[in-house]
Structure formats: structure tokens, C-alpha cells
Amino acid sequence: MAEDLTKQIDSSTEFFDIICSSKDCAPEMKKKLLRSKRASAVFYPKNKNEVRKILMNYKCVIRGGGSSYLGQVIPDHDEVIIDMSRFDSVKIYNDYAIIGGGVPFSDIIKKTAQENKELKSFPLSYRSATPAGFLSCGGRAGIGSPENGYFSENIDEIEVVTPNSEILRIKGTEIDDFSGSEGLLGAITEMKIKIQPKKIRHLHMYGFDSRIDLERFFEETKDIRFAYFFNKIAADRLNDKWKLKTVPAYTMICQDLNDKDDYRREYREDLAKRGISFIYPKWILELESKRMNMLDFMIKDSRNNIHIADGIGSVDKTLHALRHVEKHNLPAYGMLGKDEILIRIYADCKDFLDKQKFLMIMDNIYRSIEPASKGRFFRSYISGKDKKHLQVTINKYNVPGHLNLRQNLNKNILVKKIISPLLISMGGKLW
């Protein structure tokens, strides 16, 4: 019989502690699937030996930041939860950091910033997600990924406590095996991740009178890191809020175009010569002077404008976002959410992407999702009657940012870099 560890290791069997840690995924999911499911206890281990003891004695579910929309780590058979939040150490070195498995990305970002360093890539859900949780739940791409590669590529080493009480240190490509493993292969207690000197980010906002201008802009600009789109409705709201003088038909904000001011000025002059209208309002300059991250701005402003940014997999506020998108007819891309897992890729195929190419990608998505369905909850949605809800809608005048940015890349890269995070987040396999 399993040893009772509740007195040896800090733990809780209180109803609210259990229920709060057991029900992390979005409410609609909970209602359907997990109405009566919960763990039998929550453990709060402080070191790897405690984790090892728990793993040896109980059926476990390992919990990181609890921000995963699909709830990959939700107990459904009276398991115990291992809450990793007390693994919160962050040690910064010259070009790497050693971090605990349960520290949220936001804490790492702040501590690296104190040393004038930054993470190479991190997810959009950085405020609550943890590195170990992000990796385990199959999170791959995020902010910084187009520049520095997948999140797993920026990890040097991980320390894993396996269920058969081994403590392993995994390096190199083997780390990929733990991506999407949902904690089944063990608990990640420590990670060594790459960091780099902090860069100053600049924000740019451009407006375009016509879609042709916008398209031309994309063709000619190759160093855009992130782009966010607003349609007329959203731009109108921006106008109300920030009192912009002109509201263009299409407004795009992009980040990190280039660090040098001269370059930007030249670039703007270039654009002006070509007859591309743009706005560069005061508030953007203010944001620059405050060194405010655009993401912060976006999150603050999320009531008005919806943006599913880089890394579709980390759609932690999907539900909220989806409602707004539908209500206000805002542009969005790569969304998943709502009661019935519904994939919607909004795209204007004619202007931005070859229609056949797009449909081919969608074909791949279908084929990859159905047989794989690694995520146990996703499987229950796909199989059976809910299958009919899987659909693709192609909306006119909505721009898929990811696809659009990389239209000059070949299909394989496009699929690997853009579609795979979406699939992994849903429990699908890479092809």
C-alpha cells in the first residue's frame, strides 16, 4: 500500500485547495467534461526528493502555472496534484539562467531585466505560465520564436524526476521528447535556459489606405518581428481612445523593426516617397519613451482590440478573446475555443495567400488532428458527435498575420513554424 505522505510533505486535502488546483481549464470545458472530477490531495513539494517520494507513492498530475486552455494536467481519476509553485528559484548567469520548474515566466523576465538580460523566447501567457509547464504541455513558439527558434531550442538542460524515482539531466534534442508529454514522463524540477543581452524594443504603427499598400509593405519589409492588425472598427476605437488624427483603412503595429532611429526615419521617408500613408502618433512615442512592451499595452487594451499574437498555442485568454472577436467583428487568426473545439482560420486567400496552398495547409491540419489526438480531452471532442463542429471558415478581409508575414517562406517552414504550435496545443502530433 502506498505510503501516506501528507504528514511528511506540505500538502492539503481541503476541498477548496483541491478544487482550485483541479479546475484550471476554461469554464466551458469544465462544465462539459470535468464536472465531477477532482484530485484527492494537493502536494506542495519544495525539493526534488519530495517530488520523487510523491511520484513513487501516488498516481500524480503535475501542475505548473495552470494557464493551459485545454487543461492537459487536469486530474480525472482521483490522482494527487503536485503543485510545482514552490520551485521558484531564478539564478542569472552570463548567458544562461537556472530556474525552478514552477516559477512563472513573468518573474524570470523581471529578474533577467534586473541584470540587463532577457529571455530568448517566451509564451504570450508569460504572466502565469511556467517554463516547465509550457514545455510539458507542448508549448513551442512564443514571443521571440521567429528570431530565436522554438522554446525548446533555447533550453540547454532540464532536470527531470521520473516516476521510477530516477533524477535525470536531459540535454540537446532529447529535450524535445518532453515537449507535449503532459508530465507523463516525469516532473521537470529545474531548467537551464539561454538568455541574451536585453534589446531595446521599438513600437511602430503604420496605417494603410488600401490593401495593396499593405501588401507592398509586406513584400518590401523583411525584418518585421511581430505585427498586429486592426480593421476599421478597431481603428475607430483607437481613434476614440487615443485621439488619432487620421484613421486609415488598415492599421498595423509592428515591433522591433530596427533598433536604430536613423534607419526608421529613412524607412518612413522611403514609404512616404512610395505614396504609402502611415501614422506615427504621439502615444506610440510615449510608449517608446516608457519602454513599455507592446504586449503590456496590448493586454491593457485588450478590451478594445483583440490580438492573438505569436504562438497560437498559448491562447490562454481564448474564450474572452473569441467572444470579443465575434461580437465586434475584429480580425483574428488561428483561434481555438468555445464550447465545441472550433478551429477558425480567418484569411483572405485571394490577396495574401495562394488559395490552394492555404487549403493544403488546412488539409494537413485535418489529417494530423484526427489520427493523433494525443491530448486526452481533445480526443473526446473529436471522436463522436462533436466531430461535426470541426470546421474552417474563411472570412473575407481578415488577415492571418502569421501566414502573411511568412508568405515568402516555403510551405514546409510555413507549416512547421505556424501550424504546428496550433496542433501541439490541441494535442496533435508533428508531421
Partner 1 sequence: MVKIDVIKLNKDYQRRHQVRQVKEKFDKVIDRFKDSEYIEEFKKCVQCGYCRNTSAAYHIHKKESESHPGKMFIIKNFMKKDNKKMILDTVYHMTLAGYAENVCPAGIRHEFAWNELRKDFYSLAKETYPKLKEALENLNDPEKNNIFGKKKSTKFNWMSEIEHRRSDFLYYVGSNDLLNNRDRVRRMLWILNKFSIPYTISKFETDSGYIAKLAGDQDTEEKCAKRLKDLVGDLLFKKIIVSCPFEFRRLRDIFDDEHVEVIHIMEIISNKLKILGSKKVRHIKARCAYLDNFYLSEYYPSSMPREILRNIGCDIVEKSHSKQESFSSGAGDCFELVFPYDAEQIAKIHLKEAQDAKAEYLVTSDSFAQKLLSDTAKKTKSKVKVIDLSALVVKAIKWAV
CA atoms within 13 A on the CB side of 358: 23
Rounded to whole angstroms, the Cα distance separating 247 from 236 reads 7
Least Å from the CB of residue 251 to partner 1: 21
Least Å from the CB of residue 308 to partner 1: 12
Least Å from the CB of residue 112 to partner 1: 11
Toward partner 1, which CB reaches closer, 121 or 125? Answer: 125
Measure CA of the first residue to CA of the last residue in the chain; give whole Å: 42
Toward partner 1, which CB reaches closer, 130 or 154? Answer: 130
Rounded to whole angstroms, the Cα distance separating 121 from 143 reads 5
Toward partner 1, which CB reaches closer, 88 or 153? Answer: 88
CB 350 within 8 Å of CB 215: no
Toward partner 1, which CB reaches closer, 237 or 417? Answer: 237
Contacts of residue 321, Cβ cutoff 8 Å, sequence gap at least 6 = 302, 306, 308, 315, 332, 335, 337
DSSP per-residue string spanning 29-89? HHHHH-TT---SEEE---SHHHHHHHHHHS-EEEESSS--TT-TT---SSPEEEEGGG---
Residue 44 amino acid letter: Y
Toward partner 1, which CB reaches closer, 257 or 321? Answer: 321
Footprint on this chain of partner 1 (rule: CB under 8 A): 12, 14, 16-17, 19-21, 23-27, 42, 44, 65-67, 83, 85-86, 88, 104, 106-107, 110-111, 114, 125, 127-128, 299-300, 302-303, 316-317, 319-320
Toward partner 1, which CB reaches closer, 13 or 408? Answer: 13
> What number of helices (H) and strands (E) belong to the chain?
19, 15
Least Å from the CB of residue 201 to partner 1: 18
3-class DSSP state of 374? coil
Among 422, 423, 340, 339, residue whose Cα is nearest residue 389: 340
Least Å from the CB of residue 291 to partner 1: 12
Least Å from the CB of residue 24 to partner 1: 6
